[in-house]
Amino acid sequence: MFNLDQLATFVSVVDLGSFTAAADKAGLTQPAVSLQVKLLEQRLGVKLIERVGRRAQPSPAGLDLLAHARRIIEACSIAEESMTPFREGSVGRVRIGSGGTASIHLLPRAIAIAKKRMPDLEIIVRVGNIEEILRDLEANALDLAVVALPASGRSLEVEPFHEDELLAVAPKGSVMPEGGPDVEFMKTKTMLLYEGGNTRRATNGWFEAGRVHPEPAMEFGSVEAIKELVAAGLGWSILPDMALRRDRSGQLVTSPLKPRLVRQLGMVLRRDKHLTRGLREVMKALRDFQTSE
């Protein structure tokens, strides 16, 4: 592997024609410059500099190396310059893993806030189930997960940041009982439930606390699909509040459950994760979500 300082010293000696001049330019002693060139010659096993009179000139091997050395130094200079925006914190990339509901109804607002603060920030969102997301997070294939809790992992840190109520959802024209539907009321309805994940586990837990085992007529991996089916009159469901806010004056009737059922959303990241400016801005925007509603 080439030593960049040695290459730069070699080029400087050739360009200036003198070890002394190269030393003055670099702010080094002449013996230090001579040692840099000597070490490079030892590494390559060839003579690179020849003295012609009082002037230092490249040998045939040195002349051949010179073109390569200039390209290497230029490429390194360009690479260093490309890091300037990252060093100054004006650009960056954040990879977020999330479930379908949060990616549609929560993340866009947080991303918009973060992008306003950092216009050149690149944000990548990957949608999946919680097991896949946490696995990728532990493997450092994602920087941040936004998921329904609980979430756990030996190397992970969890920060709850938003409470989202689960509501009973029915077709337009349906009548909700006063105080909200309880387990006895809901068990008589045709149920369309979300398939898998912590949201479904919370729903099952609500039913089971009332000693009822839910037997849905249909199960879907998409909250949006369930909303459409409920609106079409095919059944009732229990869905996150954040997914229903745009539909309250439309084709759906909603009500809190009895007892009420609330899920928590959390930010999850590796404990050893370096918090870049971009990642900090995204996390701040998510924390602000609760207070901006």
pTM over 0.75: no
Asked if residue 10 lies in contact with residue 76, where contact means CB atoms within 8 angstroms, the answer is no
When the pLDDT of each residue in the chain is averaged and rounded to a whole number, the result is 90
User: For position 247, what pLDDT does the model report?
Assistant: 60
Amino acid at residue number 113:
I
Which three-class secondary structure state does DSSP give residue 206?
A: helix
Asked if residue 103 lies in contact with residue 133, where contact means CB atoms within 8 angstroms, the answer is no
Nearby residues of 224 by Cβ (< 8 Å), 6 or more positions away: 100, 104, 243
Burial class (CB in 10 A: 0-12, 13-18, 19+), 109: middle
Q: Please state whether beta strands 144-148 and 218-220 pair in parallel, antiparallel, or not at all (unpaired).
A: unpaired
Which three-class secondary structure state does DSSP give residue 158?
A: strand
Nearby residues of 83 by Cβ (< 8 Å), 6 or more positions away: none
Tell me the residue ranges of DSSP E strands in the chain: 49-52, 55-58, 91-98, 120-127, 144-148, 156-171, 192-194, 218-220, 237-240, 252-270
Which three-class secondary structure state does DSSP give residue 41?
A: helix
**CA separation (Å) from 31 to 54, 88, 164?**
17, 37, 70
| Nearest CA among 151, 148, 164, 150 for reference residue 260 | 164
pLDDT tens digits in sequence order for the chain, 293 residues long: 789 999 999 999 999 999 999 999 888 999 999 999 999 999 999 999 998 888 999 999 999 999 999 999 989 988 887 777 776 666 788 999 998 889 999 999 999 999 998 888 899 999 988 999 999 999 899 999 999 999 988 889 999 999 999 999 999 999 999 999 999 999 999 999 988 889 999 999 999 999 999 889 999 988 999 999 999 999 999 999 999 986 655 789 999 999 999 999 999 999 999 888 889 999 999 998 765 55
pLDDT tens-digit map of 178-199: 999 999 999 999 999 988 889 9
Q: Give the chain's largest Cα–Cα span.
A: 104
